[in-house]
Structure 1
Amino acid sequence: MRTEPLMNLTYQQGEDGMLYPDLQISENVETDRTPVGGFGSLWKNYMLENHPHRMSELVAQGKINEVILKVDEEAENRKERLIQELLTAQPMPDTEDTLERAGHMSMITSTAEEIVISELVLRPR
């Protein structure tokens, strides 16, 4: 009969005095602790609903957080580039009206986000 544990876990004491295991999903601890942005969360939800088998594969391989962060980073970079391109094509109105300028920027940002979501986020990886 086996007497040694299947996994050797280390524990951290929480603020409530309880011991919590130090669990790690991927090989890179920093990847597991990096917060996920909006595009990464949207991609994760899309994959869970539409491609659950692929999500299971990524989790089993320990790559899920890396892929989520990669999607988020690519999407944010693409959004920033698109905003600059759209501002070149549709420059800010030459007015002192702050609300009009804010509305224009909001429209450009929304357009860029829609493009990024359709191009990068709502795609299986």
Structure 2
Amino acid sequence: MENKTNINGMNYVLAGDYYIPNLKLSNEERTIGKYGRMHRDYLKENHPMRFNHLILEGQLWTYLADLNEQAQNRLQLIIRQMQEAESVTEELKASDQLAWVRAMNSIHNRAEEIILRELIYGEVVV
């Protein structure tokens, strides 16, 4: 097989009568997780050019793994801030577990909605 470098800097390999891009996958070992998968699907459906660019550059997996870590860290930060603001403490957990579980579920759902809008779907939160 003959290798060829095109003007755009990509390497191509002659396969039969066609030159195809010689793509190399990154050695990323981190998982892309829930938020990375959600953002990948969003990019595939709504921004196919960006999605294809990330694939061709070999950066998709790293990009999604980084985004997933950012989303997880931001989610934990928002949950802690909401717990403090709404006085959802260990004392509440000890005295009324059901109320604590309700409050934590509510906090988690609202925090996750913020993450989805800000990071995963790229909307502006008002």
**Would you say same fold, with TM above 0.5?**
yes
Per-residue CA deviations over 1:33-57 (Å, capped at 9, x if unaligned) read: 3222111111001000100111000
Aligned partner letter, 1:68: L
Aligned partner letter, 2:100: R
Give the Cα–Cα distance (whole angstroms) in 2 for the partners of residues 36 and 120 of structure 1.
14
Give the Cα–Cα distance (whole angstroms) in 2 for the partners of residues 63 and 84 of structure 1.
32
Kindly state the Cα deviation for residue 70 of structure 1 after the two structures are TM-superposed.
Answer: 0.9
Aligned partner letter, 2:97: T
Aligned partner letter, 1:25: L
Residue 121 of structure 1 corresponds to which residue in structure 2?
Answer: 120
Residue 88 of structure 1 corresponds to which residue in structure 2?
Answer: 84
Residue 25 of structure 2 corresponds to which residue in structure 1?
Answer: 25
Residue 112 of structure 1 corresponds to which residue in structure 2?
Answer: 111
Residue 15 of structure 1 corresponds to which residue in structure 2?
Answer: none
* Greater strand content: 2
TM-score (norm 1): 0.72
Question: How many residues are paired up?
Answer: 103
Structure 2 stretches lacking a partner, 5+ long: 3-12, 14-22
Pick from 69, 89, 95 the counterpart of residue 65 of structure 2: 69
TM-score (norm 2): 0.72
Give the Cα–Cα distance (whole angstroms) in 1 for the partners of residues 99 and 52 of structure 2.
47
1:91 is paired with a residue whose SS is: coil
Kindly state the Cα deviation for residue 65 of structure 1 after the two structures are TM-superposed.
Answer: 0.3
Kindly state the Cα deviation for residue 24 of structure 1 after the two structures are TM-superposed.
Answer: 5.4
Give the Cα–Cα distance (whole angstroms) in 2 for the partners of residues 120 and 43 of structure 1.
8
Residue 20 of structure 2 corresponds to which residue in structure 1?
Answer: none
Structure 1 stretches lacking a partner, 5+ long: 7-22
Pick from 43, 46, 69 the counterpart of residue 50 of structure 1: 46
2:95 is paired with a residue whose SS is: coil
